[in-house]
Copies of this chain bind each other. A is one copy, B any other.
Amino acid sequence: MKMHIEFRHLRTIRAIHDAGGVARAADLLNITQSALSHQIKGLEEQTGVELFIRKSKPIRLSVAGQRLLKLANKILPEIDALQSEFDDLRAGKSGRLHIAIECHACFEWLFPVLEKFRQKWPDVDIDIKPGLAFEALPALQKENVDLVISSDPEKLSGITFTHLFDYKSVFVASAKHPFSKKKWIEASDFATETLITYPVDRTRLDVFSQLLIPNKIEPAQIRQADLTSIILLLVASDRGVTVLPDWVVSEIKNNSDYTVKPLKKTGVQRGLFAATRTECLDKPFMRNLIDLAGQEAGRLQKD
């Protein structure tokens, strides 16, 4: 009396209908006729209605039975579809790729990469989570995201950092700016300047982490802007100076509105890494994304 309707029963109903009888259905399901007979008897007890008309010999579905069959024909394909979705998932054709980017400027090269990726892996669920830019690595461990783009590799259990490419952080100012005569920019130079940055914690900005904080220099003023194009606009109109990755700057290097200088005599070189859960590197789409990211980086550097 505790028994429930189970998929077994739906498969049975469908088989009996398709095969046109219990005995034939039994072959179809690789099961004995007796088993099916017991099964439908149990099902009729459970549902409380007669599912079959037993007066005719290959037994037929009653009205109630037909109703159940209808449901079976609706539900069973859905389960099969789900199973094949799962098969895709296991085969690595589908999956989830939720990305957190610590580096704000990375949008620039990430979008073209994702566009290529999307074409090759249409069933992978792509998303970018800019919200949790900080705390990205814990989120990665907790499987809230699957990929973190970061400049600061850490030793973390279960997390692997894959080197994507190197870039330089370069100083950008208006062409009219007095620093256009300098060969390179020092930390101390910022003390009198208005610095334009992305609106993120300063520890996540190369200018600060690599130059100003170590040298204990505070810019005269800080102004924040969301989009790279806005920052460049502000710089062009001499409202301040900024520091950006060289790949961003490559587009405006030959633009006479701007002057671009290295930071320090040696330049400030940084690496960009893809952080993933180690086991995820087995997934083909994940490896492919990292490959694509490397290729795109190469293309940017050439310009």
Tell me which residues across on chain B come within 8 A of A71, comparing CB atoms: 78-79, 82
Chain B residues closer than 8 Å to A156, beta-carbon distance: none
* 2-60 of chain A: CB within 8 A of chain B: 4-8, 11, 47-49, 53, 55-56
Task: Mark each residue of chain A from 49 to 84: 1 if its CB lies under 8 Å from any CB of chain B, else 0.
Answer: 100010110000011100110010011001100110
B48 x A86 contact (CB < 8 A): yes
Count of chain A residues near B, Cβ 8 A: 35
Instruction: Collect the chain B residues with CB atoms within 8 Å of residue A7's CB.
Output: 4-7
Set of chain B residues within 8 Å of A143, measured between Cβ atoms: 53, 55-56, 62
A90 at the interface (CB under 8 A from B): yes
From B4, B49, B74, A8 is in contact (CB under 8 Å) with B4
Interface on chain A toward B: helix, strand, loop, or mixed SS? Answer: helix
Provide the bound-state CA to CA distance between A5 and B56, in Å: 33
Q: Is there a chain B Cβ closer than 8 Å to A95's Cβ?
A: yes
The answer on a CB contact under 8 Å between B85 and A67 is yes
Across the interface, name the chain B residue whose C-beta is closest to A141.
B55
Give 7 new A-B contacts, CB below 8 A, not counting A5-B7, A53-B143, A63-B96: A4-B11, A53-B142, A63-B125, A68-B82, A71-B78, A71-B79, A75-B75
Top 10 A-B pairs, shortest CB-CB distance: A48-B90, A63-B96, A49-B86, A47-B86, A53-B143, A6-B6, A49-B89, A6-B7, A75-B75, A71-B82
